[in-house]
């Protein structure tokens, strides 16, 4: 008969992010038929018992477990890719899955350098025989289409110089645009799109600060209706906070499968860039370290790989 501690270990091995392979090998690999039967009867949220008292896997749980078994492999494959190919494939997947994944388009367009974004566009062209801009324009049918195409087409100035007069003028332009335009149409406003898709990130961060001074509230507070614009502003101006929030949502044990995928995406793509700043911001916001949170919610080889990446020296 399976011992209570073994049942608890097996339940944990199948729960959360990834799979605890060592526990499965140690407990299930050495088990006999009766112990496995006890395991099936003791974990009804994994197994169903029909009218013939036959214990069988819940089909939906099998699908979910297949994804959990794949997390480690997918993380390794994504990590080993050239960053340009990785971004190109992330964009392609986001376009294929539709509007629920459009935040990935914003992440790539707004948190990469000009050269990195140009590299992703080149990789996309080589991999899929289309341009990113072409596919974004043809797949995105909503009001955010113009914004996405503009962000993907950007080649921003990367230097530190900021034109103070231009920042002041554009803070006023944004204030006027947000006051005089229907909130539902902010994402289509020509001036908002021009500023967010062409100005350097230091310029935009200064604009973000000045906007608050002028209006006594943050720019993104006036974008409550516009999720995609809010995500754009956060990725451009406060990426560490944005990625901390994405990770916190994705690391919840009961997060949907599509949401959990963000853990791999964020950690793999930010490890060589700003994972140190993200860890600091995460700890500041949530009062617990990102490392501790991964320890609590991930399992097995997947957990070990995530912890290796977040502790990696850039």
- Domain tally, the chain: 3
pLDDT, residue 37, reads 81
Q: What is the pLDDT of residues 27-41, one digit of tens each?
A: 888 888 888 888 888
Residue 15 in any domain: the answer is yes
Provide, rounded to the nearest whole percent, the portion of the chain with pLDDT above 90: 70
Residue range 5-19: mean pLDDT, rounded: 86
- Inter-CA distances, 80 with 85, 87, 225, Å: 10, 13, 38
Q: How confident is the model at residue 294 (pLDDT cuts 50, 70, 90)?
A: very high
Q: What is the pLDDT of residues 222-268, one digit of tens each?
A: 876 678 999 999 999 999 999 999 999 999 988 998 999 999 999 99
Question: Are 38 and 75 contained in the same domain?
Answer: no
Q: Is the pLDDT of residue 52 over 80?
A: no
Average pLDDT of the chain to the nearest whole number = 92
Provide, rounded to the nearest whole percent, the portion of the chain with pLDDT above 70: 97
Residue 170 in any domain: the answer is no
As a whole number of angstroms, the distance between CA 274 and CA 119 comes to 19
CATH of the domain at 282: 1.10.220.10
pLDDT, residue 210, reads 95
Considering only residues 95 and 224, tell me which one the structure prediction assigns the higher pLDDT. 95
**CA dihedral (221, 224, 226, 231) positive or negative:** positive
Question: Are 20 and 42 contained in the same domain?
Answer: yes
Spatial CA neighbour of 249 closest among 73, 15, 17, 20: 17
Residue numbers of the domain that contains 284: 241-310
Q: Are 131 and 125 in contact (CB under 8 A)?
A: yes
pLDDT, residue 28, reads 86
Q: How confident is the model at residue 172 (pLDDT cuts 50, 70, 90)?
A: very high
Q: What is the pLDDT of residues 98-108, one digit of tens each?
A: 999 999 999 99
Q: Is the pLDDT of residue 1 over 50?
A: no
Considering only residues 159 and 5, tell me which one the structure prediction assigns the higher pLDDT. 159
Lowest-confidence segment of 42-56, 79-93, 115-129, 170-184 by average pLDDT: 42-56
Structural domain ending residue among the three candidates 88, 119, 140 = 140
46: three-class secondary structure by DSSP: coil
Residue 230 in any domain: the answer is no
What are the tokens at 161? 């110089």
pLDDT, residue 283, reads 98
pLDDT, residue 249, reads 98
pLDDT, residue 234, reads 95
Question: Are 136 and 76 contained in the same domain?
Answer: yes
As a whole number of angstroms, the distance between CA 211 and CA 177 comes to 12
Q: Is the pLDDT of residue 270 over 90?
A: yes
pLDDT, residue 314, reads 57
Burial class of residue 20, CB neighbours in 10 A (0-12, 13-18, 19+): buried
Question: Are 107 and 46 contained in the same domain?
Answer: no
Question: Are 77 and 116 contained in the same domain?
Answer: yes
Residue range 154-171: mean pLDDT, rounded: 95
């Amino acid at each position: 008969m399976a011992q209570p501690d073994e049942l608890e270990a097996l339940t944990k091995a199948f729960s959360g992010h990834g799979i605890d392979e060592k526990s499965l090998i140690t407990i299930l690999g050495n088990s006999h038929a009766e112990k496995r039967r006890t395991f099936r009867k003791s974990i009804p949220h994994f197994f169903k018992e029909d009218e013939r008292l036959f214990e069988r896997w819940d089909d939906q749980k099998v699908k979910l477990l297949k994804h959990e078994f794949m997390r480690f492999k997918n993380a390794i494959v994504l990590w080993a890719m050239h960053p340009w190919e990785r971004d190109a494939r992330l964009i392609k997947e986001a376009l294929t899955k539709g509007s629920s994944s459009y935040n990935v388009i914003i992440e790539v367009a707004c948190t990469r350098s000009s050269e990195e974004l140009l590299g992703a566009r080149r990789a996309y062209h080589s991999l899929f025989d289309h341009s990113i801009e072409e596919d974004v324009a043809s797949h995105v049918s909503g009001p955010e289409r113009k914004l996405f195409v503009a962000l993907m087409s950007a080649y921003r100035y990367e230097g530190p110089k900021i034109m103070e007069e231009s920042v002041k003028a554009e803070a006023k332009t944004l204030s006027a645009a947000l006051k005089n335009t229907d909130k539902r149409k902010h994402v289509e406003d020509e001036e908002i799109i021009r500023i967010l898709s062409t100005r350097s990130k230091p310029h935009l961060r200064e604009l973000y600060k000045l906007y608050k001074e002028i209006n006594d509230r943050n720019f993104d507070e006036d974008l409550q209706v516009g999720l995609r614009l809010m995500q754009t502003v956060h990725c451009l101006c406060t990426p560490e906070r944005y990625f901390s929030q994405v990770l916190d949502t994705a690391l919840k044990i009961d997060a949907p499968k599509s949401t959990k995928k963000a853990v791999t995406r964020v950690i793999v793509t930010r490890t060589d860039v700003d994972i140190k700043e993200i860890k600091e911001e995460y700890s500041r916001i949530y009062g617990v370290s990102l490392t501790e949170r991964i320890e609590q919610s991930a399992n097995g080889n997947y957990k070990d790989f995530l912890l290796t990446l977040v502790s990696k020296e850039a």
